[in-house]
């Protein structure tokens, strides 16, 4: 029995405003699963042509799967969002690339014919659940020296990357961080960031109910002079600071994926078409370099080159890891194709949710840029991995009408 694979499209993506983790953060007293529920409901509200019972799967990622991020959150969130009980769901974990893996996994099922439509996304409430909460790393990792001791501290892995590539200076990292803040602010002012946000009712025992409508992490007053004064918490006289790294954040994302033919049948608009993807492993102590081999793998398997990519959405866990990627592929630090609306240094990085933020932004950029055919979403992943997904712009002006 032979099968032909189907084309898979990204229909729509939304996210909550991202908040700062901690007792004073936007979502300090808001449950993680309620953030996901809000995202799923908004996806269905914005896409009324999609009957709820046509959703075949819900895959939601979380890095720390305990408490209100546990209990097979894809299934529980689907039920809480009001999807029919016939719609299954599951949880997935690839640390920072959780939502990205939720997308590639369900998309593969769609291509194979197991599903027609799926919802994929991620959530991280780092205020309630710090990364690694309740984890019990096997002592063999260190007793047998399988990994360096710094591998479990993400900031230390970024310092290690500075060591490996000494030309990636703190000054370059700070300049990139400043550009991220400036590009984000400009995108908000232009109305490019904002339409994808879903408002969230927030609760505070002290202040009562509120409404989250905008991202909390951005620092619009950032200057190079201010960045230069920040401490380096992971190493004395180091390079990584709170200014050139993403913060600790709370937030949720979600998207609708469908077989292209099914999207057409239902009257759903395709924001972008999946071309291919790649995941790769690297030494855990320099996990930030992971997107280099994962992108090389994705390019090789799709027959494309880095020169074919017209837009890059790279997750800014740390400025140094984006710079390592850019240097490897011969791309300038200030290339306008890279994170044109800013990145995680400005907007935040709620771990497992971030992959779909990258995709949602790329999809919206495609709509503005019919001159661009291919785009890349990529990120480094804790414990030494990289994740890269290549997309095609259905609005590309070179396509035959």
380 is catalytic: yes
> Which of 125, 162, 239, 380 does the annotation list as catalytic?
380
| CA pair distance 386, 205, nearest whole angstrom | 40
Q: Are 190 and 341 in contact (CB under 8 A)?
A: no
Catalytic residue among 96, 129, 239, 255: 96
Spatial distance between the Cα atoms of 307 and 303, rounded to a whole number of angstroms: 12
CA 377 – CA 379 distance, rounded (Å): 7
The single residue of 125, 162, 239, 349 carrying the catalytic annotation is: 349
Whether residue 167 lies in the annotated active site = no
Per the CB < 8 A criterion, the answer to whether 16 and 230 are in contact is no
How far apart, in whole angstroms, are the C-alpha atoms of residue 26 and residue 14?
18
Separation between Cα atoms, residue 65 and residue 134, nearest integer Å: 10
Query: Rounded to the nearest 5 degrees, what angle is found at the Cα of 153, between the Cα atoms of 221 and 281?
Result: 105
Q: In Å, what is the CA distance from 3 to each residue of 110, 112, 114, 302, 338? A: 13, 8, 12, 20, 37
Main-chain phi, psi angles of 311, to 5 degrees = -145, 140
CA gap 190, 192 in Å, rounded:
5
Nearby residues of 400 by Cβ (< 8 Å), 6 or more positions away: none
Q: How far apart are CA 376 and CA 389, in angstroms?
A: 6
Q: Residue 108, Cβ neighbours under 10 Å: how many? A: 15
Nearest one of 148, 151, 145, 83 to 118, comparing CA atoms = 83
Find the farthest-apart pair of alpha carbons in the chain and give their distance in angstroms, rounded: 65
255: annotated active-site residue: no
Taking only Cα atoms into account, the Rg of the chain, rounded to an integer number of angstroms, comes to: 20
Q: In 10 A of CB 293, how many CB atoms?
A: 18
Active-site residue numbers? 96, 349, 380
């Amino acid at each position: 029995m032979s099968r032909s694979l189907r084309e898979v499209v990204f229909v729509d993506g939304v996210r909550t405003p991202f908040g700062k983790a901690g007792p004073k953060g936007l979502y300090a007293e808001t449950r993680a699963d309620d953030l996901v529920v809000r995202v799923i409901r908004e996806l269905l509200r914005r896409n009324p042509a999609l009957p709820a019972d046509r959703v075949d799967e819900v895959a939601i990622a979380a890095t720390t799967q305990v408490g209100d991020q546990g209990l097979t959150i894809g299934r529980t969130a689907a039920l809480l969002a009001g999807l029919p009980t016939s719609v299954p769901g599951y949880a997935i974990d690839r640390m920072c690339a959780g939502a990205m893996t939720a997308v590639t996994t369900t998309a593969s099922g769609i291509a194979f014919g197991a599903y027609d439509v799926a919802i994929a996304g991620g959530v991280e409430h780092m205020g309630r659940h710090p990364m690694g909460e309740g984890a019990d790393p096997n002592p063999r990792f260190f007793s047998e020296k399988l990994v360096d001791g710094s591998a479990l501290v993400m900031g230390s892995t970024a310092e290690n990357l500075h060591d490996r590539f000494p030309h990636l200076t703190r000054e370059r990292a700070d300049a990139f961080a400043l550009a991220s803040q400036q590009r984000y602010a400009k995108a908000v002012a232009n109305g490019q960031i904002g339409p994808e946000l879903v408002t969230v009712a927030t609760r505070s025992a002290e202040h009562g109910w509120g409404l989250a409508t905008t991202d909390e992490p951005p620092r619009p007053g950032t200057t190079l002079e201010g960045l230069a004064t920040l401490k380096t918490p992971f190493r004395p006289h180091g390079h990584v600071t709170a200014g050139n790294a993403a913060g600790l954040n709370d937030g949720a994302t979600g998207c609708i994926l469908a077989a292209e033919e099914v999207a057409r049948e239902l009257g759903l608009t395709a924001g972008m078409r999946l071309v291919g993807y790649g995941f790769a492993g690297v030494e855990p102590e320099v996990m930030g370099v992971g997107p280099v081999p994962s992108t090389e793998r994705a390019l090789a398997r799709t027959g494309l080159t880095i020169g074919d990519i017209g837009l890059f959405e790279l997750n800014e866990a740390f400025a140094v890891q984006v710079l390592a990627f850019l240097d490897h592929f011969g791309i300038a630090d200030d290339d306008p194709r890279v994170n044109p609306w800013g990145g995680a240094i400005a907007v935040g990085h709620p771990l497992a949710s971030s992959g779909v933020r990258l995709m949602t932004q790329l999809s919206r950029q495609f709509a503005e840029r019919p001159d661009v055919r291919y785009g890349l979403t990529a990120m480094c992943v804790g414990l030494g991995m990289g994740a890269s997904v290549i997309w095609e712009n259905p609005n590309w002006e070179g396509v035959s009408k």
